[in-house]
Amino acid sequence: MSVAAVSLLALLAVIVISCFSPINLGFLSIALAFLIGRFLAGLPVSAIVSGFPGSLFLTLAGITLLFAQARVNGTLDKVAARSIRLARGNRGMIPIVFFFLGLGLATIGAGNIAATALLAPVAMSVAGRAGISGFLMALMLANGANAGGLSPLAPTGIIANELMRRIGLEGVAWRNYVNTLAAQSIVAFGGYFLLGGSKLFRADPEHDPRPGNEGIVSQHVEPFTRYQWLTLAVIATLVCCAVLFRIDVGMGAFVGAAILSLARAADEEAAVKCMPWGVILMVCGVTILVEVLGKTGGMDLFTRLLARLSEPSTITGVVALVTGVISVYSSSSGVVLPTFLPTIPGLIANLGGGNPLMIAYSINVGSHLVDVSPLSTLGALCLAAAPPEEDRALLYRKLMAWGWSMALVGGVVCQLLFGYR
């Protein structure tokens, strides 16, 4: 068996393992990259290590550190609690508020996973106390967080944009964000109103939180402390500088984190522990393995395999469907994006045509539409936070059915919106 075939099998093994095992694929990918690159391909260690995405690592570390500080010092909790009041006791508006809250937090840099992890316990508890379906709340919260997940300031957006930059797709970060925002918003609100959300706007004395079930919806929130105001100011400054002056988001985040540390505005040790090191390692590890594939010919083999599944006129729909199916069971940002985005140039060469930007959009949209699946991080966070009165087995089945259906919806939507032109 050729080295190219072995390296491709290693990547496929990583994808399969990601679907059924909780093992961190970063460790596994680095180990496989070393064994295959050094002992089968004869590559020097320096050539293998050169695949480590240093710039991406620093950007992810900086932005996640800053928002970990904002989380441990209570800033994000108070922002969430104050925002819930926007529902004004209307049950139908509560999930919508959480959609926009997840969207906002993810967009400004917290990212989809952090935003969902922060809001899911509150959102699912509010749903239980207000008589709102846990499925509808999970649907709105997870899709809202995902709608902002491809922001150029958020970890997933940073990953996608860096991988796209490596294949020559630059200057499209905000368009990438808008595409995902539109797709997630359409499916979220469409699903919400079609599956029972419209009924929540009708008066229901038994479940309406206004007569006496206000609970978390109207609980008293302590005012921001001076350290929390400083945290908000640092985050706002970073967002403005990144948008208006195009400063490097990662380096700017490190500056902001340093300011908060020097001011003793957050417990630095606790913040470092809160950082998603597992996700960061996963992305970097899979990227190294993909780089080894490129040097051994495995990537060419992979793109030829993908090219057999479609033609230039249908590749956007097919690739969205394939990445969606894989993402139902595995990490979109940690596995799917680092695996599929680098294949685009070779895929077009093997197909004999295609628009690389449209294919990239399809991968990004298709892989994220399914993330309400209980086997994906966002769906799992919502399921774990479900209150005792919620039937978790039923909620699991509903979330799984939604995730699978979105793989097909993603394929159709991407074919219609991004089809070959």
Domain limits of the chain?
1-50+284-296
Number of helices (H) and strands (E), helices first, in the chain?
21, 0
CB atoms within 10 A of CB 71: 20
Place of tokens 């097909």: 408
Place of tokens 């908060």: 260
CB-based contact 385:123 (threshold 8 Å): yes
Place of tokens 């005792």: 388
Output DSSP code: residue 23: S
CB atoms within 10 A of CB 129: 17
Output DSSP code: residue 222: P
Output DSSP code: residue 225: P
Length of the chain equals: 421
Compute CA 2 distance to the chain's CA centroid, rounded to the nearest angstrom. 35
Residues 6+ positions from 214 with CB-CB distance below 8 Å: 89
Per-residue pLDDT tens digits of the chain, which is 421 residues long: 789 999 989 988 887 887 677 788 889 999 999 999 999 999 999 999 988 988 878 888 888 899 889 889 988 878 777 767 777 768 888 899 999 989 998 998 888 888 888 788 778 878 887 788 999 999 999 999 999 999 998 999 999 999 999 999 988 999 999 998 999 999 999 999 999 888 888 755 444 544 444 444 555 668 999 999 999 999 889 888 877 787 888 899 999 999 999 999 999 999 999 888 887 888 788 889 988 988 998 878 888 888 888 888 889 999 999 899 888 777 788 778 988 999 899 889 888 888 999 999 999 999 999 988 887 778 888 887 887 778 888 888 898 889 889 999 999 989 988 875 5
CB atoms within 10 A of CB 389: 10
Q: Which two tokens stand for residue 48?
A: 């293998």
Q: Which two tokens stand for residue 97?
A: 């508020």
Q: What is the pLDDT of residues 89-127, one digit of tens each?
A: 688 888 999 999 899 989 988 888 888 887 887 788 788
Q: Which two tokens stand for residue 241?
A: 């500088």
Please state at what angle helix 356-369 crosses helix 173-194, rounded to 10 degrees. Answer: 40
Q: What is the pTM of this model?
A: 0.77
| Alpha helix ranges (H) inside 73-154 | 75-84, 93-105, 111-130, 134-147
CB atoms within 10 A of CB 243: 13
- Radius of gyration over alpha carbons of the chain, in Å? 22
Q: Looking at residue 373, what is its pLDDT?
A: 84
Residues 6+ positions from 109 with CB-CB distance below 8 Å: 63, 66, 67, 151, 153, 154, 235, 238, 239, 249, 253
Residues 6+ positions from 140 with CB-CB distance below 8 Å: 95, 96, 98, 99, 102, 188, 192
CB atoms within 10 A of CB 212: 7
Residues 6+ positions from 261 with CB-CB distance below 8 Å: 69, 268
Q: Which two tokens stand for residue 340?
A: 């599929």
Compute CA 292 distance to the chain's CA centroid, rounded to the nearest angstrom. 25
